[in-house]
Structure 1
């Protein structure tokens, strides 16, 4: 029999992660209605700074995010399937915010843990909140850099 080999459950998970990452990276302030294609109505989204429950609240969160930043971009570079319906994405976030880092670009490495059936119902982001936010605030940033220097 010719053709491609059958896809395993883990291969399906890897395919899901790639499709999700591609669609997520294409999001912007003008197409947030597409979040419903990626996330279930009862989604739980958490990161070091937020916990958001439900698709309407997630849309509001992303609308606020895109309203305050510019040049926001996710580059995905790791797609690690654990089992059917579970996996991790490794990524680099790049963005600019007028009140952070004097408006210059900020880059942060992170990882997302996803659980899904047909759509993602659990999304937890792991990243260094200091590298994302605190280190780029005028006064607090100087203190954090000083502390890091003292600890190194």
Structure 2
């Protein structure tokens, strides 16, 4: 298993093939992102099932993948379409994934992305406030 295999898996990931997660992830996977920490393959499968049930589309375009021994990195853009975000229009969020491999599977997966850009900025009232704060910080 390597970062290229994981990249290919994520570029094909959809509601229809999340049952393939155990082919990529170790039974003792630790999965983290800006909002979650999930431990174990069963919990990860449940998380992805719920996630994909609530979105219309979640696509990953992997720009780069790198491998250094048992450590891998992915650089990606996620396109998310959720009926409650951005008026149902696509939200594009760049991110990076840090991977550790053990027993030819991913044992650790950490996503780095701007949760505000993905979620908070897309909500009707809160989005305007967050964007105004970002503009002020940029001055």
Q: Please confirm whether the aligned pair reaches a TM-score higher than 0.5, indicating the same fold.
A: yes
User: Retained in 1: the 8 A contact 2:6–2:24?
Assistant: yes
1:101 aligned residue: 86
Corresponding residue to 1:68 among 42, 54, 76: 54
Bigger mean CA offset, 16-25 vs 95-104 = 16-25
Corresponding residue to 1:86 among 59, 62, 71: 71
Q: Equivalences for 1:1-150 in 2 at 5 Å?
A: 16-81=2-67, 83-117=68-102, 118-150=104-136
Aligned-pair CA distance for 1:38: 0.2
What SS is found at the alignment partner of 2:84? coil
Q: How many residues align?
A: 137
- The C-alpha deviation readout for 1:10-66, integer Å capped at 9, x for no partner, is xxx8xx211111012212112222000000001000001000000011011111111
What SS is found at the alignment partner of 1:66? helix
- The C-alpha deviation readout for 1:111-134, integer Å capped at 9, x for no partner, is 000000200000000000101101
Q: Could you list the structure 1 runs, at least 4 aligned residues long, displaced by more than 6 angstroms after superposition.
A: none
User: Aligned partners of 1:149, 1:139: CA distance in 2, in Å?
Assistant: 16
User: Aligned partners of 2:11, 2:41: CA distance in 1, in Å?
Assistant: 18
Aligned-pair CA distance for 1:104: 0.5
What's the C-alpha RMSD, in Å, of the aligned pairs?
A: 1.1
Q: Which runs of 5+ in 1 are unaligned?
A: 1-12
How does the TM-score come out when normalised to structure 2?
Answer: 0.94
